[in-house]
Structure 1
Amino acid sequence: MEFGLLGPVEAREGERLVDLGHTRQRAVLAVLLLADGQAVAVDRVVDRVWGERPPLRARETLYGYVSKLRGFLPIERSPAGYRLDATTDLDRFRDLVRQARANPPENAAPLYDRALGLWRGDALAGLDSPWFDATRQALHAERRTVELDRNDVALALGHHGALLPELEAQAREHPLDERLAGQLMTALHRAGRTSEALHHYDALRRELADQLGTDPGTALRDLHLKLLGPDPAVPRQLPAPQRFFTGRTRELHDLTEPGGTVVITAIGGAGGIGKTALALHWAHLHADDFPDGQLYVNLRGFDPTSDPVPPGHALRAFLDALGVTDPPADLDAQAALYRSLVADKRMLVVLDNARDTPQVTPLLPGGPRCTVLVTSRQQLVGLVSAHGAKSVALDVLDPHDARTFLTTRLGRARVDAEPEVVTALLDLCGGLPLALSIIAARALTQPDLPLAALAEELAEQRLDALDDLSSSLRTVFACSLRVLSPDARALFGLLGVTTAADLSLRSIAALAGLTPPRARTLLRELEFAHLIQQHGVGRYRMHDLVRLYASEVAPQDDTALKRFIGYFAATAHAGDRLIEPHRPQITPPEGEAADLPDVTAAMDWFDREYESLLAAHRQATTRDWHDLVWHMAWALTNYHLRRGHAAEDLAVWRAALHAAEALGDNDKQVAAHKFVGMALVDVGVYEEGNHHLRRALDLVTDDYGKAAAHRAVAWALEHQGDLAGALEHATAQLALFRQLDIPVRIAEALNDVGYRAARLGDYEQAEHHCREALTLNKELGHRDGEAATSDSLGYIAHHHGRNADALEHYHHALEVYRELDNSYEQASVLRHLGDVHAALGDEDQAHQAWQQALTLFEAQGRVKDADEMTALLHTH
């Protein structure tokens, strides 16, 4: 019995067709025949025959089909499933193909014809399930390959003329089949129709690009080149490298890609950063790696005197260098020819000063052995995402390489003669290679001019001093701006009105009066142009020289700056309200505040924005925006207290005092004198600090203000060792707050009185006041007060000899201060905790607590506390 699968499933005994039953029964037979004599599990047969829609009693139905087939077929049943060992027309087809492939063309041709003659139509015709569909598709692909094999044999036998009509019909049916395209091109060429062969290649290339985004494979490109004629020329177009190239060790390493993979490297960086110098230096170092030539074009993407070079012009120049005297007019055809010419070459292509990705894309070779270096002031993200380019971004030279650069240019003797001046020059140039080159050129052309004179001029007029007849940083930066959108150029100028070295996305949005998403879009444009750097998530900075240029093109009015500083003032005010909700209410400053949901978010915001906050405060001070100056000092006070920033607190409050006096506002003057006085005492300037505190007491007119002033004086006197005076003012403070009936202030005053009494040895009075304070703080939910009072109770217990109680109180205080993120008070509590462990003889625990306290003291600049802690650690 003979079985057929290459058409409708059938079985024959001699010339007689055997009745195989209905479609599903024939499907069961086909599954067993396609198993090639292997057993097929029952569940697998069900799945292959019915797919996802088997009948309710699929196994029983299958048993019935198999039972009927067993009436005339030797189907075996085993634990592994059903098995039928039989030969099919598919087996005969494959055996003939194996024989054909093993024979020379003249013997293979009839074998291929016999094999293909076994097909009676679509394989497994009439059988329908996902498995049969996939199997049918695979069998047709197998047949298709054999048909192409037969075509190759016919071409080898010189039968191209007879084969052409069939090849043209097949090409219409399979327009993206590259092997078939090669056979058709070969047949057309041999028939004297080479132009049609080249036209067919070009049509296929466009179709592949449109539908699949790819180019023809190596074999078809090789055939295309063969049809084109003689081998192309070997170009050597690299310009000379920079003579004094310095540093860039890491970047040179990043450019060197092992193996023969395609490397398209986008070397980005701001104008004057040294992109071309790096590209040419690397190219000359590796020129021998590219024996088939090196192509170079300056695309003039940011040239101040001419427009960018169109891709077609660059392509025609490349084709001319490759020996093409009559290139096609169409850009796509030029690009296809260019890729064909360099497809299998080991070539280097340097595309210098590219404007954008579309300018570069037609110039990219498709061969796996080519390397492309692209330099641009833009990041060329499209090149990275669509073409897999490797991005090597350049930063400024580090101090060592910058000094080496100047030494190489000027000579060691001249650099060593004025070492401090050279350091100043390097700082002023900020590691920017173009700036260093200009300074070196000026020094070389004026050998008698001391470097100190150049440094003085550069310090006074940085951008003016970096202009010469051939190079100008202003021109470089202006060309980078020219390609930006108007909104991005406007934002660049606005960034020039600020002095903060580091800006957040939200603050930039406030500066520009934009939503954060819109600001992010424009910042991305500036970032792609390497005019700004996103050095952290949502945080941006500029090179000093770029910032100087931004300040020159900044708007002259202060509208944006006032909006910017207003954002910081308003957000700081909101953050301070979260940190210390019991503080007296004041009118918020004008400005749009960022959303801060809780105290943790507030402290995080202060930490992130601190340097920008101080810069904004300094700008408000220089412009005599007195109200903002005072408000920002007020809003920073509690943050400064928690972080131990005494010197910074003194600076902002000195400015706030001047602002309050200019405003003629008595209440603001009282607050400023009080906080200036406390900050001075905190840094050890007692006499001046006491003066300001007395001045606050003299000026205050309301009882609340008097109580607050008493508290400040008490704190200052305690710092100076006058504990009796401190207790006296603390007691006056408590009396006034009791009269005013302000519970939170009463709780704080009770603790102040208790702690000073404890310091004077009156532990009974001290504990009475502090216990009352602790109860009141807990009732009010005043966590800061609760921590401070727990610290006081720890001191009292320790000096009463109750060290177990002291540890409990100190640990609770430490836990709350950590919860509040108050590192200043954490340090003080850790010191006290160490004292208790030492008293208990636990030296390891004592050292651990003292060491943690010392680390915090040093970080906070608390020199006296740090010195005392160091001495204590050395004696234990």
Structure 2
Amino acid sequence: MAGGLRDQRRGRLIIVALGPMAGVVAGGLTNLLTMTWNWWLFGGLVLMTSMVSAGTLIALPNGDPGYPAALGTEDPQATSALQVPSGTRVFVGRSKELRRLTSPAPGPLVMIITGMPGTGKTELAIRAARALTARYPDGVVWLGLRTYAATESRVTTASALRTLLNALNVPPDPHTTSVTALSRTWRAATAGRKMLIVLDDADTAEQIRPLLPAAEESAILITTRHVLIGLDPDRGVTLQPFTRSQAAQLAGAVLRRAGLHDPEAVAAIAATFRLPLAIRQMSDLKAANPALSIPAAPGETISDETAAAFARSFAALAKPARLVLRRVARYPGSLISSPIAAVLADQPLDQATEQLATLYQRGLLIADNRSGVGYRMHDAVRAAALIESGKHDSTRQLAGAFQRLFRYVNGIVDGSVLLLDSSETVTYLDSDKEDPHLPLPRHESDVAVLRWLDQQHADLLAVARHSLSERSPYAWRLAYNLESYQRMRGFYSEIVELNGEALKLAEQTDDALGQAAMHQGLGLVDMRTGRYLTALMHFQTSLKLYAQLGNRVGQVIIRHELCNVHKWLGNLAEARVHATFCLTLALSGDNLVEQAFAFSNLGILDRLEGNFTTAREHLSRSKSLFEQVGQRRGIGICHRQLGMLDEHLGHHHDAQAHLDQALALFEDLGDLMNRADTHHNLAVAHRGLGNMAAAIHHATAALFLAGQISHVQGQADAHSELARLARIAGDHTTARAHLRHAHDLHQRLRLAHATEQPDSPPPA
């Protein structure tokens, strides 16, 4: 894959280089043939050909130009899934409503679009959001709430808030997981910003209120099927079915775009259909089948229109396309890709890609431009397709489709999270050896992986929830693989939800490996949120299960975490037992990452116990191994520990050099906790060098970052260091204030540990 990317870049560079060269040749020949030298003509030709070559570079496709990119294919131009989606190519009949939504207005603005399914609420919201973009320079954010999707696919208010905060790069706080606390953080983050927030498919005012931005210059645009009682909008638009004239406008525009001029068909569609969704369906169907006759009035109520239109559309599809439509309607997520369609319909990838393109051309799917992953489906289309699926897909067939889906999604998540700490360009190998036609996603860097996971998280979470409802053996595996990303991004409630439910399922099915993995995940959340005794119980249970199974890798992972827990609790002797066990197992294998972590743990313990020579040997060995495998977080940890060691020995310049390298790595990785701790270490180093201004700068940065993520120990350390610096400067009043803060924070830590119940069973 790396070679392919290099070849692609090389080819594009050649195109750019050839442009000016071609211009020089063309300019010279033109002036030679005209027997007159004209510098303006010569320069113009050079400029024109250069622009053409640059345009060719931009226009070069990243994949098959006929379809959206496949799931997981890395596209440098891929945009956030929170950006405004692409709309339909034809927009008529709603200009009055669009003007009302986009006319200038002062102050905060709440706008609501109401209407029955199929009236074009989302399309109007897309047009309004694009028209308003220039007025909101701090961003336009689009969030689909999936109110009428399956239960596992719906976006909870807490998850929506965490997603919005991640979009603003607000770091997760493990102690801020409730809707009230997250909403308070969201309002603080949006204060002073001029943003437009679009919430598509809302259901209640209670669902909306926590998502309201704080800034008076911001606006929120909501689509809903009914009146939101208790929410008083500044502007409300209620969409009615089209008039006959509007229906004719829309049908005529769709047919003309397809190259079909058929006034009789336009009149027939306008006479029969009034809902924009049904009109588009019949127009697309007519465009694909010019000989088709338009049916008479479909039923007594206007809601029957979509059912009649879909029935005609489905009947006109070939069997493979109908199968794909039925199966992708079962997909718990919202973004439908070729691999997803292939695994659900059990078709080759190229055939599934072709069927998706057919469904798109028939108006049954909508192209999605936000993350380059394919298509989305209107709720009404999904509902009609699910009815068809109920008629034609057996329980056994659907069970097989879901197991293929869970296996594939587990493979892509497993491969993705392994790269979060890698700095190398890598190629994914097929994890599913039984089906080499479904390649795993390819990413160029850890940053690209993180961006992809941000885009896909809502769908991956929906698939994981569905795997639990289906009692799949892949359920705990999906939960296990998602955990590290979710912990990084602050989805703590989702971790507890998935791991807790998967643990119950693993216990019911006597799956010891699943139980061990889920106890591990719950222990990691408890450790991150400062519940060390509860984390200790989860890890001990997990270790016992891994040992019973003879699972070497699991034992090493848990021993590593037990070492960390005991370090936090001050039990250094216990921590060393686990660290030594990890090193013994690691040296018996060839996994360099395991060896690196084992040496790192021993080095940290050596430093804490005062064995400085051994500490340097272990940490240097660990750093060398991390450098061999390109594990940047591990390299940063080793630099920080070596810096702390040099500082303790009075080697202030060496300490600063190590700590500067560690800080640069943690900043690049977005690791806020390690950044906060490293700033504190740098403050100590600069104090030792006599650089008081730099020391104050780093201690203040440490306090700020630790406060952002509720890193209580980090805040206490920063206050203690600022107290020392103030005392050196003779400012005893400030020093006493910082010492009081440090004392209060240490007391808070002691109380937190005291309130844990060590005799209670680990909570699920």
User: Higher Cα Rg: structure 1 or 2?
Assistant: 1
Give the structure-1-normalised TM-score: 0.43
Give the structure-2-normalised TM-score: 0.49
